[in-house]
C-alpha cells in the first residue's frame, strides 16, 4: 500500500493538541483520519490515553477507521458517526478537543455545539479550533459570546484559537440531562 499523504494542517493540529500518553482526546470532524493517526500514535491506553474521532459523514468515518485500524483494534481510538450537537459522551471525559477546518464555528451560531464541548471537557480542558489558513474573526467572537476564553494559535500548517470554557451563560450552559 502506498504511503498516505499527511497534510500540513494535520501535522499542525497534532502539534497544537500535544497529546501525552494519558490524554483523553476528541476530534470533531475527523475527515480522512490524518490528524487522528498522528494523535493516536502518542497515546498509551495503559496510561488512560484514548481518543474519540467523530464525523457526521459515513465516508469520513470509514476512512478514519481504515486509516487508524491499529488504534481502533487496540482500543486507543473510537470512531463515531455523529454531528457535534448530537454527540453523546460522558461529562468531563475529555482533556482536549479539536477541530480542523470545521465551518460550523463561523457560519452560524455554534451555541448548541459549544454546550456539548463545555460539558464533555474536564475542568481545565482545552478546545482547539484550527484552520488551514487564518480563521474568520467570527470563530473567536462566537466562542467568547458563549463564555470561552480565547487565545490565538499559529504555526506551520495553520492557525486558529485555543479556548477554555470559563463561565456558564444562558445560551451555552445545559446539564447532561438536557443533552
Residue 70, helix vs strand vs coil? helix
C-beta of residue 31 within 8 angstroms of C-beta of residue 62: no
Residues of the chain under the 70 pLDDT cut: 1-3, 167-179
Rounded Cα distance between 139 and 110, Å, is 9
> What pLDDT score does 5 carry?
81
> What pLDDT score does 150 carry?
97
Distance, C-alpha 81 to centroid of its chain:
14
Residue entry with cell 494519558: 22
Residue entry with cell 468515518: 61
Helix %, strand %, coil % of the chain (to 5): 35, 30, 40
Residue entry with cell 457535534: 84
> What pLDDT score does 3 carry?
60
Closest CA to 39 of 79, 1, 2: 79
Rounded Cα distance between 121 and 87, Å, is 13
Distance set, CA 133 to CA 9, 35, 85, 142 (Å): 9, 16, 25, 18
C-beta of residue 72 within 8 angstroms of C-beta of residue 41: no
pTM above 0.85, yes or no: yes
Residue entry with cell 463564555: 147
Distance set, CA 115 to CA 54, 70, 158 (Å): 16, 32, 25
Residue 31, helix vs strand vs coil? coil
Residues in Cβ contact with 7 at an 8 Å cutoff, skipping those fewer than 6 apart: 34, 132, 157
Amino acid at each position: 500500500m502506498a504511503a498516505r499523504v499527511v497534510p500540513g494542517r494535520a501535522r499542525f493540529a497534532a502539534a497544537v493538541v500535544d497529546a501525552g500518553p494519558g490524554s483523553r482526546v476528541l476530534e470533531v470532524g475527523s475527515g480522512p483520519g490524518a490528524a487522528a493517526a498522528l494523535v493516536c500514535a502518542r497515546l498509551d491506553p495503559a496510561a488512560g490515553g484514548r481518543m474519540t474521532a467523530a464525523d457526521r459523514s459515513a465516508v469520513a468515518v470509514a476512512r478514519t477507521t481504515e486509516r487508524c485500524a491499529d488504534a481502533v483494534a487496540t482500543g486507543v481510538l473510537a470512531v463515531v458517526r455523529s454531528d457535534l450537537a448530537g454527540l453523546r459522551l460522558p461529562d468531563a471525559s475529555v482533556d482536549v478537543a479539536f477541530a480542523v477546518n470545521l465551518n460550523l464555528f463561523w457560519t452560524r451560531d455554534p451555541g448548541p455545539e459549544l454546550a456539548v464541548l463545555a460539558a464533555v471537557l474536564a475542568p481545565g480542558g482545552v478546545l482547539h479550533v484550527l484552520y488551514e489558513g487564518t480563521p474568520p474573526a467570527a470563530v473567536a467572537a462566537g466562542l467568547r459570546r458563549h463564555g470561552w476564553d480565547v487565545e490565538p494559535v499559529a504555526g506551520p500548517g495553520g492557525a486558529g484559537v485555543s479556548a477554555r470554557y470559563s463561565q456558564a451563560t444562558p445560551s451555552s450552559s445545559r446539564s447532561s440531562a438536557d443533552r
